């Protein structure tokens, strides 16, 4: 209690000293400027996308204006009534503030004023939120994260009506609401505020923007550099330094990257307005610009973010945060005309100078297409803590994307998915990642929080298209250990568009086990008639292990060459823990052929998985849904190839796209896959050579140098009665 009192006194002093600084700045100065407003007013009715966006905003806010202002006593968890109402209130305030600036209609200003006064009335006496589910409880919300978001938009709303308010009203709002609120987010919750994590970014932006709007530069300083005891080791600059790689990848993954771009860019924009000398958008070689480009690269052909780590699969670049990001970055970097084509698909701009620039440029037809490319996005602040590798190929009639995650754990929302693979064709998920087990903001599902199966299933290694050793997840599922290690980017070469290759290693996920995965995307009809993904997964250890390789496929089972035994009258889970408890075994088989083949159909294309699974080893055909007492999981299908008592093995799997079925004409065409079997003809620590047989007995070899990665080194290996010679890490030999 004593400690608490001291802190409280400290806060009181700060607030009081801040109030005394003078109001010398021109409002609005956070999201809009006087120049912006003038420009917008002059051009009303002339720029369709901008006018439409205003109309949409106006329609929503006008509806809200018709209802009484409702500031309920905080009580409910996420998704509940008071939670939703406080969220809706900041959305409404923000929109009304902007509309007051644009239209000059006083009803909007009055609405914001009343709302802010209502909050200022109750804020000083608000206790901590009654729901105790977060490490950082707020007052209006069960978690400080929502609390910080609220303040950002309240700040902007306040900024918009600043000139409309009387001095006493401003004092009341600042002293009773904004300033103590900012202190609560920072000084009273320093752990939260100082985090190098999306939560911290929201907090910092909220506090910094409060500083700008109230002209309390001490708050801005706190936001930029951290609270006193952490000066320079926390705050906005450090967040920019630590959370993005030089290529703009955000370590939590694309779903959270989209989310965190909002506070990053809103605060950066207000810094640019108020402290242009900081050149914030040029900071770290313009990493904020790169972050938006990287985030867009992390979408599939339909614009949905790759669902690695905790992620909701329905999230796309049409989200408000990406509209915000595209507009702000375009306004700062107008050479990025590809952003305009994204804005066109978003079909909405933000109502600000930034949104105006985008809409105006679109009207002038300046957009250039956005090209999704093959790219390696380094992870870690120096970009050397592994990476996300993406291979893309626009084969005639196919648009294949293969992603491998060989990055860091990705903080608390990271999954134990080292070297896992995702595959898409024309935006259809072929090899899937479950994403998160969560129904955001849906009250029925534990208030929209992460569900238990997120930890027990979605995060586990077996839930991903990678190898699981001894039925345990990477790092034994221990996040703190996992966070220390990253995978190693070994090789990435997309210079030959027809044979693109990426390769990565993971030596820490399992003690005494080395994992090395190489994925080639081959799209050359001279090699295979169809697009083919070749996947070489080397496992080596000094002990024997049970090794599982999982294929979470999206599609309808067509056929397999193995004699599988289906469990038709009773289903049981594959195992008891580490995610296996969620997999019903629908069928199993012992491989008795020279290879294992499985064919499935997705969106009217066929896919053939061909694998060098050794004879007498097992395949399990599984389905999610076991140990899911509350129906939280979707029903999805997978295959697990299992080998037992191996200390080393090289899996050679190929995934070939072939044929087509038209469900309207009911015509099926070209049911001919080309790859009949695969095997390994050479493997030692230095080299691996695999052989892929095509239908007509022609063979393709893929030769890999496993250690030496100098591009100029020439390698010689004798294997399979031939001598292979190649330069660089990897080479594909066709029709030898």
Spatial separation of the C-alpha atoms in residues 99 and 160, rounded to whole Å: 9
Using CB under 8 A as the binding rule, whether residue 630 contacts its own copies is answered as yes
Q: How far is the CB of 556 from its own copies (least distance, A)?
A: 7
Please, which residue, 133 or 669, has the CB nearer to its own copies?
669
User: Taking every pair of C-alpha atoms in the chain, what is the biggest distance, in angstroms?
Assistant: 91
Stated as kind and residue range, the H or E segment containing 242 is: helix 236-243
- State which residue, 1 or 667, has the beta carbon closest to its own copies: 667
Token digits of residue 138: 């707020």
> Residue 545 CB, nearest distance to its own copies (Å)?
26
Residue 590 makes contact with its own copies by CB under 8 A:
no
**From 27, 86, 199, 413, the catalytic residue:** 413
Q: Of residues 67, 166, 168, 444, which one binds its own copies by CB under 8 A? A: 444
Q: Shortest CA distance to 694 belongs to which of 735, 733, 651, 657?
A: 735
Which residues between 307 and 326 bind its own copies (CB under 8 A)?
Answer: 312, 314-316, 318-320
Q: Residue 147's closest CA among 111, 197, 183, 109? A: 183
- In whole angstroms, the minimum distance from the beta carbon of 80 to its own copies comes to 9
Least distance to its own copies, CB of residue 341, Å: 19
**How far apart are CB 88 and its own copies at their closest, in Å?**
8
DSSP state of 164: G
Q: Which value, to the nearest 10 degrees, does the dihedral of the CA atoms of residues 538, 541, 544, 546 take?
A: -40
| Residue 59 binding its own copies, by CB under 8 A | no
Q: How many residues bind its own copies (CB under 8 A)?
A: 54
Please report whether residue 200 would count as binding its own copies according to CB under 8 A: no
The two tokens of residue 664 are 């309207």
Helix (H) or strand (E) holding 297: helix 283-297
Asked if residue 473 lies in contact with residue 575, where contact means CB atoms within 8 angstroms, the answer is no
Does residue 241 interact with its own copies by CB under 8 A? no
Give the DSSP per-residue string, 216-228. Answer: -HHHHHHHHH--G
Is 555 a binding residue for its own copies by CB under 8 A? The answer is no
Interatomic CA distance for residues 293 and 313, integer angstroms: 20
Nearest to 40 by CA among 325, 366, 350, 272: 350
Helix (H, G, I), strand (E, B) or coil at 705: strand
Instruction: Tell whether residue 440 is a contact of its own copies (CB under 8 A).
Output: yes
Residue closer to its own copies, measured from CB, 587 or 688: 587
- Nearest to residue 208, comparing CAs of 229, 188, 236? 236
Query: Does 259 participate in catalysis according to the annotation?
Result: no
Does residue 556 touch its own copies according to CB under 8 A?
yes
**Cβ nearer to its own copies, comparing 443 with 719:** 443
Q: What are phi and psi of 293, to 5 degrees?
A: -60, -45
Binding status of residue 56 toward its own copies by CB under 8 A: no
396 binds its own copies (CB under 8 A): no
Output the six-digit token pair for 536. Answer: 């070489």
d(CA 19, CA 105): 30
What distance in Å separates the CA atoms of residue 444 and residue 349, rounded to the nearest whole number? 33
Q: What character string, x for contact with its own copies (CB under 8 A) and - otherwise, covers 508-547?
A: ----------------------------------------
Candidate list 495, 542, 569, 723; residue touching its own copies; CB under 8 A: 569
- Indicate whether 442 belongs to the interface with its own copies (CB under 8 A): yes
Q: Which stretch binds its own copies (CB under 8 A): 14-22, 158-166, 420-428, 444-452?
A: 444-452
Is residue 439 at the binding interface for its own copies, with CB under 8 A as the rule?
Answer: yes
Q: Is 117 in the site for its own copies (CB under 8 A)?
A: no
Interaction of residue 66 with its own copies, rule CB under 8 A = no
**Could you confirm whether 199 is annotated as catalytic?**
no
Residue 455 engages its own copies in binding (rule: CB under 8 A): no
Q: Hey, what's the torsion of the CAs at 213, 216, 219, 220, to 10 degrees?
A: 70
Query: Residues 578-609, buried b or exposed e (16+ Cβ, 10 A)?
Result: bbbbbbbbbbbbebeeebbbbbbbbeebbbbb
**What is the per-residue binding string for its own copies in 653-692, x denoting contact by CB under 8 A?**
--------x-xxxxxxx-x---------------------
**Alpha-helical regions (H) of 166-235:** 167-173, 179-185, 190-194, 198-214, 217-225
CB of 431 to its own copies, least distance (A): 18
Q: Based on CB atoms, which residue is closest to its own copies, 524 or 636? A: 636
DSSP structure class, residue 664: T
Per the listing, tokens 């911290």 go with 200
Catalog residues that contact its own copies under the rule CB under 8 A. 79, 84, 87, 312, 314-316, 318-320, 439-445, 448, 556-559, 566, 568-573, 584, 586-587, 599, 601, 621, 623, 625-631, 634-635, 661, 663-669, 671
Give catalytic residues, as residue numbers.
256, 413
């Amino acid at each position: 209690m004593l400690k608490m009192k001291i802190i409280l006194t400290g806060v009181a002093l700060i607030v009081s000293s801040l109030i005394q600084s003078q109001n010398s700045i021109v409002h609005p100065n956070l999201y809009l400027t006087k120049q912006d407003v003038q420009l917008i007013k002059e051009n009303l009715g002339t720029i369709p996308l901008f006018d439409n966006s205003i109309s949409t905003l106006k329609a929503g806010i006008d509806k809200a204006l018709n209802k009484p202002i409702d500031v309920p006593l905080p009580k409910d968890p996420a998704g509940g009534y008071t939670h939703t109402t406080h969220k809706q209130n900041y959305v409404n305030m923000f929109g009304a503030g902007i509309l007051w600036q644009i239209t000059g209609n006083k009803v909007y200003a009055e609405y914001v004023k009343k709302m802010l006064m209502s909050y200022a009335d109750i804020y000083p006496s608000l206790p901590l939120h009654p729901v105790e589910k977060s490490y950082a409880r707020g007052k209006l919300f069960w978690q400080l994260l929502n609390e910080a978001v609220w303040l950002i938009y309240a700040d902007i709303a306040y900024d918009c009506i600043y000139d409309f308010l009387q001095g006493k009203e401003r004092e009341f709002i600042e002293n009773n609401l904004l300033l103590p609120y900012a202190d609560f987010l920072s000084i009273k919750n320093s752990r939260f505020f100082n985090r190098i994590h999306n939560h911290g970014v929201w907090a910092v932006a909220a506090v910094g923007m409060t500083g700008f709007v109230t002209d309390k530069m001490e708050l801005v300083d706190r936001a930029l550099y951290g609270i006193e005891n952490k000066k320079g080791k926390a705050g906005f600059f450090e967040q920019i330094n630590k959370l993005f790689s030089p290529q703009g990848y955000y370590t939590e993954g694309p779903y959270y990257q989209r989310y965190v771009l909002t506070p990053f860019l809103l605060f950066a924009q207000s810094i640019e307005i108020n402290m242009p000398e900081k050149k914030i958008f040029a900071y770290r070689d313009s990493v904020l610009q790169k972050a938006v480009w990287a985030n867009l690269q992390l979408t599939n052909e339909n614009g949905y973010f790759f669902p690695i780590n905790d992620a909701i699969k329905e999230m796309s670049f049409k989200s408000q945060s990406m509209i915000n990001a595209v507009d702000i970055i375009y306004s700062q970097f107008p050479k990025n005309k590809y952003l305009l084509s994204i804005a066109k698909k978003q079909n909405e701009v933000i109502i600000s100078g930034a949104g105006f620039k985008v809409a105006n440029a679109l009207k002038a037809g300046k957009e250039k297409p956005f090209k999704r490319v093959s790219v390696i996005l380094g992870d870690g602040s120096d970009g050397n803590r592994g990476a996300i590798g993406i291979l893309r190929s626009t084969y005639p009639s196919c648009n294949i994307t293969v992603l491998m995650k060989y990055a860091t754990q990705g903080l608390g929302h990271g999954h134990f998915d080292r070297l896992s693979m995702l595959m898409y064709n024309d935006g259809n998920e072929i090899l899937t990642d479950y994403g998160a087990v969560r129904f955001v903001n849906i009250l029925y599902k534990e208030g929209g929080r992460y569900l238990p199966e997120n930890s027990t299933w979605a995060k586990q290694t077996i839930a991903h298209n990678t190898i699981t050793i001894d039925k345990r997840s990477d790092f034994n599922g221990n996040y703190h250990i996992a966070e220390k290690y990253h995978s190693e980017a070994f090789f990435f070469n997309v210079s030959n568009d027809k044979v693109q290759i990426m390769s990565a290693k993971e030596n820490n996920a399992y003690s005494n086990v080395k994992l090395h995965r190489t994925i080639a995307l081959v799209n050359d009809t001279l090699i295979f008639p169809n697009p083919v993904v070749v996947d070489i997964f080397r496992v080596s250890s000094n002990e024997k292990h049970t090794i599982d390789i999982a294929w979470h496929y999206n599609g309808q089972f067509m056929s397999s060459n193995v004699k599988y035994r289906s469990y038709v009258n009773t289903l049981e889970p594959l195992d008891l823990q580490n995610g296996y408890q969620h997999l019903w075994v629908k069928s199993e088989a012992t491989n008795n052929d020279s290879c294992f083949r499985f064919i499935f159909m997705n969106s009217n294309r066929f896919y053939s998985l061909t694998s060098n699974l050794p004879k007498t080893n097992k395949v399990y055909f599984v389905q999610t849904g076991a140990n899911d007492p509350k129906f939280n999981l979707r029903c999805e299908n997978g295959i697990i190839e299992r080998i037992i008592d191996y200390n080393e093995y090289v899996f050679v799997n190929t995934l070939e796209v072939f044929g087509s079925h038209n469900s309207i004409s009911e015509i099926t065409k070209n049911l001919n896959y080309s790859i009949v079997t695969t095997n390994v003809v050479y493997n030692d620590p230095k080299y691996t050579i695999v052989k892929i047989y095509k239908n007509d007995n022609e063979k393709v070899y893929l030769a890999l140098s496993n250690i030496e990665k100098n591009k100029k080194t020439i390698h010689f290996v004798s294997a399979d009665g031939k001598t292979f010679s190649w330069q660089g890490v990897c080479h594909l030999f066709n029709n030898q």
